[in-house]
Amino acid sequence: MQHNEVIRSMKTVTLTLTNPSELLLEGQSITPDNFAGKKAAEIATLDVWEGKQKGPLGKYFTVAGDGGATAADTRIILRGDCTRVKRIGQQMTAGEIIIEGNADMYIGGWMKGGKIHVKGNVDSFCGIGMEGGELIVDGNAKHHVGASPRGEWRGMKGGLIRVAGSVGNDTATFINGGTIIIGGDADIHVSTHGEGGTVVIKGDARGRVGGQMVKGDIYVYGTIENPLPGFKMVGEVEQEVDGETALFAHYIGDLGERHPISRGKTVYANLYTRI
């Protein structure tokens, strides 16, 4: 079948937070999927929540520009202080969101595709349950970056999360796939219960790195303040990580956890620390 390449012209919707809420805002409707095919005036009628009060988006934001024909053709730019706006880009499948400053919780939660770029900091639970796409944070992120939602043992499945700064605790809990790259330090619990995927910490990690981990890879460039007793060093390896090659000490673990056997060999999680 002949595949016709459509030349896409992305349309940009600019939201400016001009009338901030008193408590908080839940902005799960702010996704390219919801904006696609809508004129600015229609976008302004989409729901956002402040506690139990439902209000139109236009009550809080000024909306400029129309959505593209599809999600993939829609770019959303958020201006103003969105420190208290949650759930931007939640469950998005395509398109692009640029947040000029900070944003609150659940940014890019359960996202399946497209790209989110946050130029400031984000709060907790960003990229949780992620399946695809890209979430880029220029600042810091709080806790549960790329972790699984509570009680969900099938965590992040795919996609890329990049946090230039540091992260709080519980990064990549129950990770199953995808990649998380942290430019700075990580607090306790990295890839706890991990069953796949890759996490790179370019700074230091405080501890509990790979606890109860079954499969998957972790790279730590700095030091691990409190390494776990369940990880055993097995050698040194040279590996290419995020475009650069370096020498790493290779550990396997968590030896306390169950591990599958594949082709007669036990599969362990790998922890690499830079030498």
Which residues of this protein are in contact with another protein, per CB under 8 A? 22-24, 28-29, 34, 45-47, 49-57, 105, 124-125, 143-144, 149-151, 153, 169, 174, 188-189, 192-193, 207-208, 211-212, 226, 228-230, 232, 254-257
- C-beta separation of 124 from 142 below 8 A: yes
By beta-carbon proximity to another protein, the closer residue of 33 and 134 is: 33
By beta-carbon proximity to another protein, the closer residue of 8 and 54 is: 54
- Report the alpha-carbon distance of residue 205 to residue 166 in Å, rounded: 10
Q: How far is the CB of 193 from another protein (least distance, A)?
A: 7
By beta-carbon proximity to another protein, the closer residue of 31 and 198 is: 31
Q: How far is the CB of 168 from another protein (least distance, A)?
A: 10
Amino acid in position 117: H
Q: How far is the CB of 257 from another protein (least distance, A)?
A: 7
By beta-carbon proximity to another protein, the closer residue of 87 and 160 is: 87
- C-beta separation of 237 from 272 below 8 A: yes
- Report the alpha-carbon distance of residue 79 to residue 100 in Å, rounded: 6
- Report the alpha-carbon distance of residue 154 to residue 161 in Å, rounded: 17
Q: How far is the CB of 240 from another protein (least distance, A)?
A: 30
- C-beta separation of 106 from 135 below 8 A: no
Q: How far is the CB of 108 from another protein (least distance, A)?
A: 16
By beta-carbon proximity to another protein, the closer residue of 49 and 158 is: 49
By beta-carbon proximity to another protein, the closer residue of 40 and 246 is: 40
Give the DSSP letter of residue 233: E
For 47, 73, 83, 117, 173, the CA distances from 122, given in Å and listed in that order, are 22, 25, 8, 11, 18
- Reduced to 3 states (helix: H, G, I; strand: E, B; else coil), residue 32 is helix
- Report the alpha-carbon distance of residue 99 to residue 121 in Å, rounded: 10
Q: How far is the CB of 238 from another protein (least distance, A)?
A: 27
- C-beta separation of 111 from 135 below 8 A: yes
